[in-house]
Copies of this chain bind each other. A is one copy, B any other.
Amino acid sequence: MTAKPAPDSVIDALSIDCLVFGFKDGRLDILLIKHGEGISEGRWALPGGWINYGESIDDAAKRLLHSLTGISNIYLEQLKAFGHPDRYPTKRVVTIAYFALVKEEHYSLIPGFTASDAKWFSVHEVSDLPYDHPLILKYGYQHLKHKVRHEPIGFNLLPEKFTLLQLQELYEAVLETTLDKSNFRRKLAKMKLLKKCDEKQKDVSHRAAGLYKFDKRIYVTLKNRGIAFEL
């Protein structure tokens, strides 16, 4: 990298957009906010905003998500930068998209000052997003499909304690397929990543299933031993 920027080599602005996935009642959701100000006022779009000067881009994503929706302390990773020259109408804006997974039950949404509203939408029913947000969604959903098979991140979409059927339904929803119950359990059991709680489901109108937790400590040890997660 050279040090002197050429006179015409400046981007007008660098923004952040967050693609937040949630899972509830067998449905895969994404979180949108209704913009209270700016160009896309009144439209549902990905939560986002501008990076501050002394702030890392990861921190900016955390701050923006929290201030727009009240959500904090979740699985968050950088997805990709999107920078087509025409992606934003009035000027040259490059955006860095973030990818987040949320335990939906744990958060009641609190719209922040630039968001007049925040709401969960089914991934498959979202449409009419502004800018290149449809592209970001498509890319991010592909990323989720891939990542969920190669790393144990699905648990970030479920409550702390969950049943094996819930987990299976999550995978079925994300991967848009059906899985054999028995084989799914066998595979999970072999990985030894789940710790059985001494608890069962409550308030269900059938035999109660046992509750499990994802044990991150075990995963880290296995990973360090070179054992990969594949599903």
Chain A residues in the interface with B (C-beta under 8 A)? 1-17, 35, 37-40, 45-46, 48-58, 78, 80-81, 83-85, 90, 92-96, 114, 131, 150, 230
Say whether, besides A56-B83, A114-B2, A9 and B51 are in contact (CB < 8 Å): yes
In the bound assembly, the distance between CA atoms of A90 and B2 in angstroms comes to 13
**Contact assessment for B13 and A54 in the assembled complex, using a CB-CB cutoff below 8 Å:** no
Our pick among B1, B39, B52, B78 for the contact of A15 (Cβ within 8 Å) is: B1
Say whether, besides A5-B50, A81-B96, A85-B54, A13 and B11 are in contact (CB < 8 Å): yes
**Contact assessment for A14 and B11 in the assembled complex, using a CB-CB cutoff below 8 Å:** yes
Our pick among B1, B15, B51 for the contact of A131 (Cβ within 8 Å) is: B1
In the bound assembly, the distance between CA atoms of A15 and B51 in angstroms comes to 16
Our pick among B6, B39, B50 for the contact of A50 (Cβ within 8 Å) is: B6
Given contacts A1-B35, A1-B40, A4-B37, 14 further A-B contacts (CB under 8 A): A1-B45, A1-B48, A1-B93, A2-B49, A2-B114, A8-B15, A9-B52, A11-B13, A14-B94, A56-B83, A57-B94, A58-B83, A81-B81, A150-B150
